[in-house]
Amino acid sequence: MSAQYGRNEHAVIAVDIVIFTLEKGVLKALFLEPNKPEYKNMWALPGALVHSEEGLETAVQRVLQEKAHLPKLLIDQLATFGEPQRDPYGRVVSVAYMAFLHEEEYAQYVQQIHEHKQSWLSVPTTRPLAYDHALIVKTAVARLRSKVGYTNIAQGLLPKHFTLTHLQSVYEAILGIQMDKRNFRRKVLEVKLVEDTGKKLTGGKNRPAALFAFSSKKLIEVSLFG
């Protein structure tokens, strides 16, 4: 890199990722074994230092691939954590991201990957986490709960096509509440969060459900609740 700015006297930057998924209606996130002896018997979020010529989102997707063996996912910047003592090994400021893996991808993933040094824990968790990762996870869960009410971010936790019942179950899992089926359906259609694909989910042992898709693939604001 060019070196008009000093090197040693300044803080360096990392990304850490809260990778969310749903497993049987329970919100979970991926944790890896920390590579620092201080933090043995704890779990840590996937993360890495950002290279000198690398964008933040590029670094996030690199970590997803190299450390979590996951494909490119929907990501969303969460916040930046920069307490001077957050990493005892040196001054590292962490830009935290959320990433979203839907349940069907997750099912494939857990079949393929057999590493011992990782775990999907339900969040928020009371297990001891390394660094300031408990704070990052807590912030991420709060942000997800908030954003699900005014954006289409839930699409990260659903496949391309899904039933309205499935969509509702995702909202209920994230918010931890039960919702009324009729009110929920009316609302998501009214605000054009999703649209009917015309397809049906057949092969179940009961009435086939209409399959829906999110109206926008980009993250946008869509006012649903509060």
Partner DNA sequence: CCAAAAGTGTTCAGTTTACACCCATGA
Partner DNA sequence: TCATGGGTGTAAACTGAACACTTTTGG
| Residue (35 or 223) nearer to DNA, CB | 223
With 0-12 / 13-18 / 19 or more C-beta atoms within 10 angstroms meaning exposed / middle / buried, residue 55 is exposed
Cβ 177 to a second copy shortest distance, Å: 17
Which whole-number Å values give the CA distances from 21 to 12, 87, 215, 219, in the listed order? 30, 27, 21, 18
Cβ 104 to a second copy shortest distance, Å: 31
Work out whether 10 is an interface residue with a second copy (CB under 8 A). yes
Cβ 205 to DNA shortest distance, Å: 4
Cα–Cα distance measured from residue 123 to residue 169, given in angstroms and rounded to the nearest whole number:
17
Q: Which does 55 bind (CB under 5 to 8 A by kind): DNA, a second copy, none?
A: a second copy
Q: Which does 177 bind (CB under 5 to 8 A by kind): DNA, a second copy, none?
A: none
Residues 173-198 as b/e (b if ≥16 CB within 10 A, e otherwise) read: bbbeeeeeeeebbeebeeeebbeeee
Q: Which of 67, 91, 138, 147 binds a second copy (CB under 8 A)?
A: 91
| Residue (89 or 126) nearer to a second copy, CB | 89
Q: Which of 26, 38, 40, 51 binds a second copy (CB under 8 A)?
A: 51
Interface positions, 187-226, toward a second copy (CB under 8 A):
223, 226
- Residue 194: name the closest of 180, 177, 214, 209 by CA: 214
Cα–Cα distance measured from residue 32 to residue 63, given in angstroms and rounded to the nearest whole number:
12
Cβ 85 to a second copy shortest distance, Å: 9
**Paired tokens of 124:** 């928020």
Q: Which spans of this chain sit near DNA (rule: CB under 7 A)?
A: 163-165, 180-183, 185-187, 202-210, 225
- For residue 208, whether the previous peptide bond is cis, meaning omega lies within 30 degrees of 0, is no
| Residue (19 or 95) nearer to a second copy, CB | 95
179, 226 in Cβ contact below 8 A? no
- Listed in sequence order, the residues at least 6 apart from 66 whose beta carbon sits closer than 8 Å to its beta carbon are 48
Cβ 101 to DNA shortest distance, Å: 22
User: Where do contacts with a second copy occur on this chain (CB under 8 A)?
Assistant: 1-13, 49-56, 77, 79-80, 82-84, 89-93, 95, 223, 226
